[in-house]
Structure 1
Amino acid sequence: MADLNENTLKLTVKWNGKEFDIPEFSPSDSVAMLKIAIENATGVRPERQKLLNVKFQGKVASDNFTLSELNLKPNLKIMMMGSLEEAIEGAMMKPDVGDEVVNDLEFEEEEVDVVNQEIYLAKIKKRVKDYKLNVFNEPRPGKKLLVLDIDYTLFDHRSVAETGYELMRPYLHEFLTSAYEQYDIVIWSATGMKWIEEKMRLLGVSTHSDYKIMFYLDYLAMITVHTAKYGTIDVKPLGVIWASIHNTVLRILLC
């Protein structure tokens, strides 16, 4: 059984003549999560990033590799090339973490290696300890909690549209207004918090008068898991919410 006390990695990204400290990572976290952390620090989207010295056997490491597989040295300075998007509206038309979306609700328990289940529980425990919820609106008595993704749910990022209104799902505000009658609402996206806040502003979600969002969750509340069917993937463990918000949680992904 793997050691639950994984050593964390402190990394720095050097880009555009500046250095950016990246939050501590577990060796079992993926390159995809590292890229999202770099996006949060620099604003450079993952698909624009070229990490020059993050390699596996001399080749550029793909997103599904874990940091432990790459044997990264502590306090490594990652050399990055990449360009910022000209406008955030342009960034909204692209997916958060690639074109393929995996619904983590589809995984059956036996697909996860039993030997490693304690590691995942330890990861969730660490997220609960380290992740700070910024609650905008307190839970209402008697209301359950509805957790919504952004891509494929609140807006269609594959659209050729250029504005938040055009990207918005049909009847989005009517749906959220109706849901708010019975549920408190949380938004959880696999991207940085500043992008979540900007998308919710452009869609008019954060300022709508007929419903309120309880809080946002970003990629820092996610964990990396290994499955026989999908390999290494990043998922959103609802246990992070359960530890702080004790009403029943329902998470949906609309296609």
Structure 2
Amino acid sequence: MDGDMSETCIQLSFDNPPIEKWINLQFTWAGKSFNVNVAESDRVFDLKTTLYSLTRVPNERQKILGLVKGKIPPDQVLISELSIAPGKKFTLIGTPEGDEIKDPSKLGTLPDVINDLDVDFTDNMAASNRYQHDARNIRKVREATQNLQVNLIHPLREGKRLLVLDIDYTILDTKPLTSGSLPPSECARPGLHEFLEAIYPYYDICIWSQTSWIWLETKLVELGMVGGHRGYQISFVLDKTCMFTVFTERDNKPWTHSVKALQIIWNHFPQFNATNTIHVDDLSRNFALNPKEGLKISAFKDAHTPEAMADRELEKLARYLVHIANAPDFTTLAHKNWKSVVKHLPRP
């Protein structure tokens, strides 16, 4: 598929969603009866997630009896492959998690530290196209759009481009921040505020983090990115609830990872689209549904070391973003080569 088609297929599919077959199931848990609907394009993972939403029994604790013969298949298996009859009854066994408030640093919702399973989808557009045409993924984009309630921290400005910016290991070292071993200011990547001030005249800023809001809000305030007196404003913030899991193969083995689908933002704010949006993240796999809009930045870790304190990545990135700010169409740019472009720019 050529580049123009790959840029539009999510929008086309969203406007004309495929017709899906749904299956009604009945299950009992803790003496209570429940009804649940699953789409044939769903995975076993999605069924477990739905069961969790109804019972608070975590996926890994769930024992599903009577749905299929023998052991429940792996998470990546399609519901359509299970040959389940409508109205099928089964039993769920499992202890729900507690609802107590926990220390955010102890939650299992903090970002991944390991970056050894990353993949660059600009090198495999065929895989990205399969993601974009997958009926389940199209529906997940639609559902995320419907469920998202954006709280605008600062009004969007007419004529500006949109910068979608990751936070964890992109603009700060998350580990010492969550553990408290370093003060917030020393966890930030060098030049963070100067970077945001440099690009703000051209871009509205969205922070999108693979963490929960309870953690994210606190840290943005501690870093002085929200509520401070800086020469920039954050327009809105998205957390992990706006992301969803996708399924594919890697090295001929099942592989799952989360994605940040820009279409969810574009559906809420039609003034933004592929021509004027750029997504900066340290994980290329987050770009799976929008590989050409993604710009990978090196991960920022070990904030206390001399090497980290000498980091100038954000200074270079600011020069690139300002350089392309007036480009009429971002889809004509190869963000993968952004550092090469910066090398040829005149020094400020």
> TM-score band, normalised by the shorter chain?
0.5 to 0.7
Q: Does 1:131 align with 2:148?
A: yes
Q: Does 1:96 align with 2:120?
A: no
Cα separation, 1, equivalents of 2:187 and 2:107 = 12
SS at match of 2:174: coil
Deviation at 1:88, TM superposition (A): 3.4
Task: Please report the TM-score for the alignment, with normalisation by the length of structure 1.
Answer: 0.66
Cα separation, 2, equivalents of 1:174 and 1:74 = 59
The 1:110/1:142 distance shift into structure 2, 3 A limit, reads same
SS at match of 1:227: strand
Q: Quote the residue 1:18 is aligned against.
A: none
RMSD of aligned Cα (Å): 4.8
Task: Please report the TM-score for the alignment, with normalisation by the length of structure 2.
Answer: 0.51
Pairs within 5 Å for 1:19-168: 28=42, 31=45, 51-53=61-63, 65=76, 68=79, 79-80=94-95, 87-88=103-104, 95-97=110-112, 99-100=114-115, 102=118, 106=122, 108-112=124-128, 114=130, 117-119=133-135, 120-159=137-176, 162-163=179-180, 164-165=183-184, 166-168=186-188
Q: Quote the residue 1:251 is aligned against.
A: 279
Cα separation, 2, equivalents of 1:98 and 1:74 = 40
Pairs within 5 Å for 1:209-224: 209-210=229-230, 211-224=232-245
- Deviations along 1:58-107, one digit per CA (max 9) or x if unpaired, are 5997xx646959x8x99986735779897435669x84256346467546
| Identical-residue share of aligned pairs (%) | 25
Q: Does 1:202 align with 2:222?
A: yes
SS at match of 1:181: coil
Pairs within 5 Å for 1:161-240: 162-163=179-180, 164-165=183-184, 166-210=186-230, 211-229=232-250, 231-240=255-264
Cα separation, 1, equivalents of 2:97 and 2:163 = 36
Q: Quote the residue 1:17 is aligned against.
A: none
Deviation at 1:240, TM superposition (A): 0.7
Runs of 4+ residues deviating >6 angstroms = 24-27, 54-57, 73-78, 81-86
Deviation at 1:226, TM superposition (A): 2.7
Deviation at 1:4, TM superposition (A): 4.8
Structure 1: which 5+ residue stretches go unaligned? 15-23
Structure 2: which 5+ residue stretches go unaligned? 1-17, 30-36, 83-87, 282-296, 300-348
Deviation at 1:53, TM superposition (A): 3.2
Cα separation, 1, equivalents of 2:243 and 2:154 = 22
Cα separation, 2, equivalents of 1:109 and 1:197 = 35
1:154–1:168 CA contact under 8 A, matched in 2:
yes
2:105–2:178 CA contact under 8 A, matched in 1:
no
The 1:88/1:220 distance shift into structure 2, 3 A limit, reads closer
The 1:207/1:68 distance shift into structure 2, 3 A limit, reads farther
Which is helix-richer, 1 or 2?
Answer: 2
The 1:82/1:220 distance shift into structure 2, 3 A limit, reads closer
- Deviations along 1:127-155, one digit per CA (max 9) or x if unpaired, are 22232212222211221110011211122
SS at match of 1:177: helix
The 1:140/1:223 distance shift into structure 2, 3 A limit, reads same
Deviation at 1:6, TM superposition (A): 6.2
The 1:181/1:4 distance shift into structure 2, 3 A limit, reads same
> 2:242 is matched by which residue type in structure 1?
A
1:112–1:228 CA contact under 8 A, matched in 2:
no
> 1:226 is matched by which residue type in structure 2?
F
